[in-house]
Structure formats: C-alpha cells, structure tokens
Structure 1
Amino acid sequence: MQDTNILWQGKYYNSLEHCTIRLDEKAVMIDSTIVGHLDNKIYSIAYFIETNRNWEVQHFSINAKINNSPFQVEGRKTDDHWNVNGSVINNMSACVDIDISLTPLSNSFPINRLKLKDGQQAHIDVIYIDILGQKITAREQKYSRLSAEKYKYENVPNDFEAIITVDKSGLIVSYPELFERVH
C-alpha cells in the first residue's frame, strides 16, 4: 500500500486542500479536505473517492458546508448507471469520471485512465459537481496530451481551456490561475 499526500493552493478559490491518495492492489482511495472563501462564501469540504486501478470512479461522497449550510452528494456506479443521492440518474450513464469544482484532483482521473500518447486527444462525459452553486450536471470535456507533463483541458463547447502540468503519476502540479501544488 502506498500513500501520497498533496497540498494544493486554490488561487482563484482562495482555498487550501490536503489530499491523501492511497493505492493498493485493487483500488485508489482518495480522502481530502478543502477550506476556503469566495464571493462572501466561507466553505469547507470533505470528500472521499474510490476508483479501480484504472482510475474509473466507483464511488464518491462529498460533505460540504457553505456559510454553515450543508451540501451533500453521494454517488455509486453500478453496472451501466449512476446512483446519486439515492436516485438513478439516467442522463449520466455515459459518465466515467467526476469533476468536483473546487479541486484539481478531478483532472487526474481522465489523465490516468485514458493513458493518452503525445498528440492524442479524447472527449469524455463527466458528472460535474458545482459545490458553491450546489448543482450536479453532466458535462462534456476534452483532454489533449501535449507532452508527458502537459495536457490541454477544454470544456465542450469550449467556454474554458487550460494547459495543465502533471507529475509522473498524473497528479496536478500546476493549473494556471486556479491551482498550484504547494507540497
């Protein structure tokens, strides 16, 4: 079993995240805490995510407080559908990954799962969890591998894009204007 501890600073979100990633022979387990403030909202988030060794999300649990108001989301992938907060969500059956708005870790799931080679790109569907907006939607994203350390991330339709730097484990080092790894 191998543990990796990461500390990310959220530049735009005025946040700090402590994330522990544990790899064993069958799964990747992530346990993380984020605290911060944005637009007169003070927030704290604790989340747990379990993926298989291919970085395909199997289960997630998010407990957030935004100005002391709770927001909780729990999801589990079973067969070909997602059960989110106790309900089957049909329009998310194609989603393999999740994207949590306040953490760069979400980008590591498709980067590690897709195993793109330089110059390759892939379109994916994700469950997007907007913590501060308290919304859950399906979204399309595009990843392009520029080099071993650089990926281009795009929302589709393209209303946002960024060049992300990763380490040799596919974990985010730099996400310009949004996140920087501190440790």
Structure 2
Amino acid sequence: MLRLIMNEQHVAWAPWSGPGHEHLVLREVPSGLTAHSSVEGVTDEGRPFSLRYFLRIDTAWRVREVELVLLGSDARLVLRSDGAGRWSDEKGRSLPELDGCIDVDISASPFTNTLPIRRLGLAPDSSDDISVVYLSVPGLSARRGRQRYICLGPERYLFESLETGYRTELRVDAEGLVLDYPGLFRRLPSR
C-alpha cells in the first residue's frame, strides 16, 4: 500500500512539448486510495480539452471505479469493477467486452501506469502481459487493450502496447509514480 505523507499526496506532470498540465491528488481511505485529477491538454488535431477524472483503488491496487468528465461538454464516462475483471457501466449493465481487465489506462495521464506497476510488483528481469480498459481522451471511449510491463531494475520499466508495438522505458519513483514518460509526460518538481 502506498503510504502518503499526511494521508495525501499531490503530483503534477506536464507534456514533453506543447501546452498542458495534470494535477493529481492521491488520498488514503480505509478501502485503499482515491485519485482525483485535473488534466488540461491539446489533442493531436490541436483542440484544447479539460478533463477531470476520479479513480477508486482498493488495497491490492485494483481499480474499482473510474469516472471521467470532459469539461465544456456533456461527455461523461463511469465504469465500475468487482476487482476480479468484471466491469459494468454507471447503470449497472455488464460490459463483457472488458472481462479480464483489472487495470485502466487513461490516454491523457501517466498516473495509470502506476496501477499495474504497483499491482504486479514485478521483480527485476520479470514481465507480465495484461489486459487493460483503455480510455481514450477526449473521446471518452472504452476498449480492451493488451500491454506488457517488464521490470528492468529498480524504478525502471519497459512498457509495451501489444497491439501497436509501441515501446518506451518509464522511469518511476520509489512509489511507482512516473517521473519520465519519454516523448509524452514529465513529472514536475514538488513544492
């Protein structure tokens, strides 16, 4: 379990290039953690977006609830999980196309890489292939994705999308929070 100073931790990232910013607040709760985040960014087509997301994470680092809201529109997505890979929408309807996914990957945030890093607890030179609920921003669509995490050593992981072949080395801190996601995100210093 991630132990936070005063039960709360603030983390911020910026894109490697272009405008944008993410401010994440992690809070310890009796059932695990909550993550509240605000993301400002620009799409590949140059359109600005503002996203707010909330995650409820259990003590085993499994996502139990995710809510994404795109500000300035009616776009909202809420998903809930039983922690064993079964998902439903906000009305309780089953989403069998997501069966087996434990983690989520929000395209506009490096924080969601922390979830499998912490949950898997990989030893150096070991790897695991996982299914994730891939959440695209700003479209707020959900689909199954296949990924691989390889622990290269202390605080270094190789991340790979098994569908596209995209690979990059992630540097993380001792708590598994991304410091550097080459070409996409970099951690801002804490104040």
Q: Which TM bucket (shorter chain)?
A: over 0.9
Q: Distance in 2 between matches of 1:24 and 1:171?
A: 19
Aligned with 1:102 (options 87, 105, 108): 108
Q: Distance in 2 between matches of 1:63 and 1:164?
A: 27
- The Cα RMSD (Å) is 1.6
The answer on 1:72 being equivalent to 2:76 is yes
TM-score by length of 2: 0.89
Aligned with 1:27 (options 28, 32, 44): 32
Tell me, yes or no, if the aligned pair for 1:140 and 1:156 is still in contact at 8 Å: yes
Q: Distance in 2 between matches of 1:24 and 1:135?
A: 28
Question: Partner of 1:172 in structure 2?
Answer: 178
Question: Partner of 2:3 in structure 1?
Answer: none
Consecutive unaligned residues in structure 1, runs of 5 or more:
none
Tell me, yes or no, if the aligned pair for 1:61 and 1:74 is still in contact at 8 Å: yes
Equivalent position SS for 1:109: helix
CA drift at 1:37: 1.8
Aligned with 1:83 (options 88, 92, 117): 88
Change in 2 beyond 3 A, CA 1:102/1:80: closer
Q: Residues 136-183 of structure 1, C-alpha deviation per residue, up to 9 Å, x if partnerless?
A: 110110000001110000001342111000000010110001000013
Tell me, yes or no, if the aligned pair for 1:60 and 1:75 is still in contact at 8 Å: yes
Tell me, yes or no, if the aligned pair for 1:13 and 1:178 is still in contact at 8 Å: no
Q: Percent identity?
A: 25
The one-letter amino acid paired with 1:163 is E
CA drift at 1:69: 3.4
Equivalent position SS for 1:139: strand
Tell me, yes or no, if the aligned pair for 2:102 and 2:132 is still in contact at 8 Å: yes
Q: Distance in 2 between matches of 1:13 and 1:103?
A: 15
Q: Distance in 1 between matches of 2:65 and 2:132?
A: 14
The one-letter amino acid paired with 2:172 is V
Q: Distance in 2 between matches of 1:69 and 1:41?
A: 14
Tell me, yes or no, if the aligned pair for 2:104 and 2:134 is still in contact at 8 Å: yes
Q: Distance in 2 between matches of 1:144 and 1:80?
A: 22
Q: Residues 71-112 of structure 1, C-alpha deviation per residue, up to 9 Å, x if partnerless?
A: 211011136520124331102110000000000001000000
Consecutive unaligned residues in structure 2, runs of 5 or more:
1-5
Question: Partner of 1:5 in structure 2?
Answer: 10
The answer on 1:40 being equivalent to 2:46 is yes
Richer in strand (by share): 1
TM-score by length of 1: 0.92
Q: Which runs of 4+ in 1 moved over 4 A?
A: none
CA drift at 1:41: 1.1
